[in-house]
Structure 1
Amino acid sequence: MNVLLVTVDSLRADRVNSRVMPATRSFADGALEFTECIANGPSTPASFPAIHASRYFASIEGLGIPPAEGDDDVRTLAETLSEAGYATAGYTDNHFASGSYHYDRGFETMYDAGGRAEAGRLKQFVQSNLEKDGALFKTIEAAYNRADALLAGATGTDSEYERAASLNDRALEWIDERSGEWFAWLHYMDVHHPYEAPDAYQRRFLDEPLSLARCRELSRKGTHHPEDVTDEEWDLIRGLYDAECAYADDQFEALLGALRERDLLEETVILFTADHGELVGEHGHAGHPPEFWESIVRVPFVLHHPDRDAAVVDGQIRLLDAAPTIADAVGRAPFDGWQGASALAVADGDVDAREYAFGDVGRRVEYGRCCARRADGWKLLRHDDGEFCFDVTESPAEEPADDRSGDVPECDELSRALDDHQERMRRLREGGSIGVAEDDRMVEEHLRDLGYME
C-alpha cells in the first residue's frame, strides 16, 4: 500500500466546506474524517515535529528535529517507512518544514523550493534593507509593497511560494518512476499569507481581483498592523484567504485525479491535514500569531484507506497522532518513542478520544504560551496577556465575555494538567534531543522570508 501525505499550511478546518473547497469536502465525505483534530502548536515550527516525528515541539530543545546521527530518541515517519522498503520523497516550500531543520530524515528525495536560489536571496536583501520600526516603516510601506511586487515580476513568480500545481507535477514525475511501494509528502504553501491567488480564484470571492502589491500590502497590514485594518479590508482579506483555499482545493483534486488515472488511488493511503489554522479578523488579527484560538488550532484530518468505509469521527485527536495513524494504516509498528498513537483506534471505538490535546510555542518566550484542550471542549489558553478558559462547545468564538477562568472547576483541572505537561516537556528538553538553536541567524532569516517579522 502506497502512502500520500498532503499538508496544507495555514488551512482552517472550517474551510473544508462545499462553498470554498468542494473537492476536498467530497473527498472527506468518502473517507474517515476526524472533526476534532487539534494542532499541537500555532505555527509550522511548533507543528511539524508532531506531524513527522510524533513529538511535542516543546519536548525538543530548539527548532525542528535533531539530525539523524547520534539521536535514537526521535524517529520520523519517513524513516519508519523507508526501513520497511518504501521509496520516499518530500516536496516543500517552507523553510521550517525542510532539510534545514532535519525534516529530510528518511527521505531519499527532498525538494525544498524555499532554498531555490537567487530570487529568495534577493528578496531577503530587500526585506533586510527596508526594515524599519513604527511610524517610519509605515511611511515607506507602500514603496516596499511595490518593490516586492516588482521583484516577483522580475523573477517570473506570481506567488510568494512555489504553487501546489508545480509540487504536484514534481511528485507525480517521481511517482511515475517508482515500481514498488512509495511514500510521498507534499506541503502546499498557497494558503499561507500573503494571500495572492490567481485572478480566476479571486473573482469567486471578490468583486474584482487585486494586484499582487495590494494583496501583499493587505497581508502585511493584517499580520503586523491589524489595528489599522478597516472593515472593508477585513472583508478583502477573508476573500483572498478563501480564494487561496479554493486554489489548493483544485490542486488537491488534480492530484487525486492523476492518481486515479494511474490506477493508484485504490492502492494508496492518503492523509490530508494542515499544520495549523489561521485568523482572518478574529481576535483582531490576521495570520497565525503564537496564540491558541480555535481558528488556529482546529485543523482538518481526513484519512482515505481503500479498505475502510467512510465515517465521521467526532472524538478529539491531535496532529501528534499523524505518524502513528499512517503506520497503523499500512500495517507497520509504531516507533516506541512516538508520543502520539493511532487515530484508527479512536475511529474503531477501541479507545476513547484523547482526553487532552496540548499546544506549545517557543521562540524566545520560554514556552510560556501554551494551551490544553479537553475532549469535552473545555480549553485553557496561556497567552502573554493572561490565562483564559472557555467551553468552546458553548462559546466557539472565545470572546472575552465567555472567559470562565477562575470561575469553574474545569479550569483548575486544565491548569493542573497543563502544568504537568509543561514539566514533562521541560525534563525532556533538558535530557534529550536538540534541534536548531532558536537564536540561530538562519532562524531569523527564515522568519523574515515567511512574513513573521518586518
Structure 2
Amino acid sequence: MSDRPDIFLFTIDALRADHLSCHGHHRETPFFDSLADRTISFSNAFSVSSHTREAMPPLLSGKRPSEFAANGFTQVPEEETLAGRLRAEGYTTGGFHSNPYLSRAYGFGAGFDEFYDDLVLGQNKIIALAQQALDRFVLNRGGQYYARAPEINERSLDWLGDADGPVFLWNHYMDPHGPYHAPKRHYAERELSAREAESLYRRSWKKPDSITDEEQQLLRDSYDDEIRYLDGKLESFFDELEQRDRLEDAVVIVTADHGDAFGEHGYYTHPRYLHDTLLHVPLFVSPPGSSVMDVDNPVSTLDVVPTILDQVDGSFGGDTGTPLVTSRESSGFEIPDREDHVFASATGEDEDKGIRRFAARGKRWKVLLKRDIETEEIVEQTVYDCENDPGEQDPRRDSGNEQAVLLLERVEQFSRDQPSQTADGEGRDVETSDEIEDRLEALGYK
C-alpha cells in the first residue's frame, strides 16, 4: 500500500470556467492560471448536472445523476462511494466542506475516516439551533452560512498532518456560491452588507426580471471577487502541501460541480437547466510526476472517479465514466480514447416538476431534450451550434447537419436508458434540522 499515491480531490461550488483568466476571462485568477500551466488542463469539461444535488454525488461515486434523483438525492451505500472503495484499499480518508446537501444528514459521510460538514449534529435539532445562535451572535458570521476556504484549509491540513498514508483528501469550497460577499473587494463598485448581499442574491433567483442592469453587473463583479479571494486561498493551501512534500507524487484533481448564471438565459444562480453557463467547468488533473498538456476534447465530471481508481490500480467494475488520464509504467500517463460527446441531465422542479432535461455536448454541436417522466414523451428538443453561437442564444430546432442529427439520436437513446422514477421529498430516512433548512434557504436552495 505504501507505494500508492496520495489523492487530493478539490471541488468548488458554482465555479464556471469562463470566469477564470485561463479560460479567457478579462479578470486575473493567477493561481488557476498556474494550474493550467503545470497540469493536464481540460478546456472542454462539462458537469453531469447543473445543481449540487445531481452534480456533486457523481463526483464522489461515479454514478449518474438519475440514480440520485431516484433515491431522494442521498448518497449510495459506502461500498459504492469513492471514499469507501479507497478506504477498503488501505487509504485513510478525509472530507471537509460545508454544503448542507453534502452533509451526514444525506449520507455523505460514508467511507470517510474524518468528515467535517460544518454542522455540529446535522440531524439533532436542539444542538443545531444552539450552533445557529453561536454562528450568528458569538462567531459573528453575520448571515454567512458556510465555512470559508481558510477554515476548510486549516482543518484539512491539521488532519493531514496526523493521517497515516496513503491518504484520500476531499475539500469542497463554497466561496463562489452566493450570496456573493467576499471578505475583500477587487471589482465590485460598492460594498454590500451581508444582509444586502443575501437580499440581492435571493431576489435574483426568485424575481429575475426585477434585476436591473446595474444590479446584474454588481452580481457579476461580486462573484468575481469571490473567485479572486478563493484563488489566493487555494494558492496558500498548495504552497503548504508543497512545503510538506505532498504534491509531486500525488494525484491532484481540481474541478467544480457546476457554474452560475447571470441572466444570460433569463435566470440567475444555478436552477435545473443545462446551458453551458451552468455545465462548463474548470478541470485540472495532475498525475504523479510532471504532466503538462491542454486537452480540448469534451470530457465529463463523471470521469473523475474512474481517473482516480485507475491511478491506484483499482480494478472496480460498474463505473460509467472514462478515465481522463491512465497511468503507464513506461510513459507515465496517456490520454485514452473516448466518445466525442458527453451527457448531462437535470430533474425538473416547481413548474417543471415531472420533467427531466438531458443534454449531449460535442465539440461543436449541442442538443437539449426535455422528456416527460411519467409518459416518457419527448416534449422539446433544441440544437445549438456552439462554435458559431457559444452563448446558446440562437436555437436551431431543425438541423440537417449530420453530426447534430447523430447527437440527437444519441441523447434520445441516453434519455430512454436512464431510470424514469424520481423520489418525492428528501429521500430515505433523512431528517433535516432547522439549521440545515436555514442554511439551504440562505444559499438559494429553498
- Normalising by structure 2, report the TM-score: 0.84
Q: Secondary structure at the match of 1:205?
A: coil
Task: Find the counterpart in structure 2 of residue 132 from structure 1.
Answer: none
**CA drift at 1:256:** 0.2
Q: Which deviations, in whole Å up to 9, do the C-alpha atoms of 1:88-112 show, x marking residues without a partner?
A: 0101111222222222221111111
Task: Find the counterpart in structure 2 of residue 244 from structure 1.
Answer: 226
Greater Cα offset, 38-47 or 278-287: 278-287
Check whether the contact 2:274–2:359 (CA below 8 A) recurs between aligned residues: no
From 94, 100, 122, the equivalent of 1:95 is: 100
From 375, 379, 384, the equivalent of 2:366 is: 379
Task: Find the counterpart in structure 2 of residue 68 from structure 1.
Answer: 77
Q: Which deviations, in whole Å up to 9, do the C-alpha atoms of 1:29-88 show, x marking residues without a partner?
A: 10010111111111001112210111111134223345537xxxx711111211111100
Amino acid at match of 1:156: N
Aligned: 1:166 with 2:151: yes
Check whether the contact 1:58–1:362 (CA below 8 A) recurs between aligned residues: no
Tell me how far apart the structure 1 counterparts of residues 400 and 356 of structure 2 sit (CA, whole Å).
22
Q: How many aligned residue pairs are there? A: 416
Check whether the contact 1:66–1:435 (CA below 8 A) recurs between aligned residues: no
Tell me how far apart the structure 2 counterparts of residues 450 and 403 of structure 1 sit (CA, whole Å).
31
Tell me how far apart the structure 1 counterparts of residues 441 and 233 of structure 2 sit (CA, whole Å).
27
From 338, 342, 360, the equivalent of 2:346 is: 360
Ranges in structure 1 where 5+ consecutive residues have no aligned partner: 126-150
Tell me how far apart the structure 2 counterparts of residues 153 and 194 of structure 1 sit (CA, whole Å).
19
**CA drift at 1:447:** 4.5
Q: 1:87 to 1:440 in 2, by over 3 A?
A: closer
Q: How does 1:8-407 map to 2 (within 5 A)?
A: 8-17=12-21, 19-60=27-68, 61-66=70-75, 68=77, 75-114=80-119, 121=129, 152=136, 155-158=139-142, 159-198=144-183, 200=184, 202=185, 204-333=186-315, 335-345=316-326, 348-363=334-349, 365=352, 368-382=355-369, 386-399=380-393, 402-407=394-399
Amino acid at match of 1:229: I
Greater Cα offset, 374-383 or 9-18: 374-383
Tell me how far apart the structure 2 counterparts of residues 397 and 452 of structure 1 sit (CA, whole Å).
25
Q: Percent identity?
A: 29
Amino acid at match of 1:80: R
Q: 1:119 to 1:277 in 2, by over 3 A?
A: farther
Tell me how far apart the structure 1 counterparts of residues 258 and 119 of structure 2 sit (CA, whole Å).
19
Q: 1:156 to 1:26 in 2, by over 3 A?
A: same
**CA drift at 1:332:** 2.6
Greater Cα offset, 59-68 or 87-96: 59-68
**CA drift at 1:316:** 1.0
Amino acid at match of 1:388: T
Q: 1:226 to 1:20 in 2, by over 3 A?
A: farther
Structure with more contact order per residue of length (Cα contacts < 8 Å, sep ≥ 6): 1
Amino acid at match of 2:72: L
Q: 1:248 to 1:101 in 2, by over 3 A?
A: same
Check whether the contact 2:61–2:76 (CA below 8 A) recurs between aligned residues: no
Q: Secondary structure at the match of 1:267?
A: coil
Tell me how far apart the structure 1 counterparts of residues 354 and 344 of structure 2 sit (CA, whole Å).
12
Amino acid at match of 2:385: D
Check whether the contact 1:31–1:310 (CA below 8 A) recurs between aligned residues: yes
Check whether the contact 2:358–2:415 (CA below 8 A) recurs between aligned residues: no
Amino acid at match of 1:395: D
Q: 1:197 to 1:78 in 2, by over 3 A?
A: same
Amino acid at match of 1:31: T
Q: 1:28 to 1:185 in 2, by over 3 A?
A: same
Check whether the contact 1:88–1:108 (CA below 8 A) recurs between aligned residues: yes
- Normalising by structure 1, report the TM-score: 0.83
Q: 1:53 to 1:313 in 2, by over 3 A?
A: same
Check whether the contact 1:41–1:47 (CA below 8 A) recurs between aligned residues: yes
Tell me how far apart the structure 1 counterparts of residues 424 and 59 of structure 2 sit (CA, whole Å).
17
**CA drift at 1:280:** 2.0
Tell me how far apart the structure 1 counterparts of residues 118 and 64 of structure 2 sit (CA, whole Å).
26
Amino acid at match of 1:374: R
Q: Which deviations, in whole Å up to 9, do the C-alpha atoms of 1:370-400 show, x marking residues without a partner?
A: 222232331122469943220112201111x
Aligned: 1:420 with 2:413: yes
Task: Find the counterpart in structure 1 of residue 375 from structure 2.
Answer: none
Check whether the contact 1:44–1:276 (CA below 8 A) recurs between aligned residues: yes
Q: Which deviations, in whole Å up to 9, do the C-alpha atoms of 1:390-429 show, x marking residues without a partner?
A: 0112201111xx11112335554334322322222126x6
Tell me how far apart the structure 2 counterparts of residues 450 and 36 of structure 1 sit (CA, whole Å).
28
Higher helix share: 1
**CA drift at 1:176:** 0.3
Q: Which deviations, in whole Å up to 9, do the C-alpha atoms of 1:151-182 show, x marking residues without a partner?
A: 84665115221111101000000000023211
**CA drift at 1:225:** 1.0
Task: Find the counterpart in structure 2 of residue 135 from structure 1.
Answer: none
Check whether the contact 1:321–1:341 (CA below 8 A) recurs between aligned residues: yes
Check whether the contact 2:57–2:75 (CA below 8 A) recurs between aligned residues: no
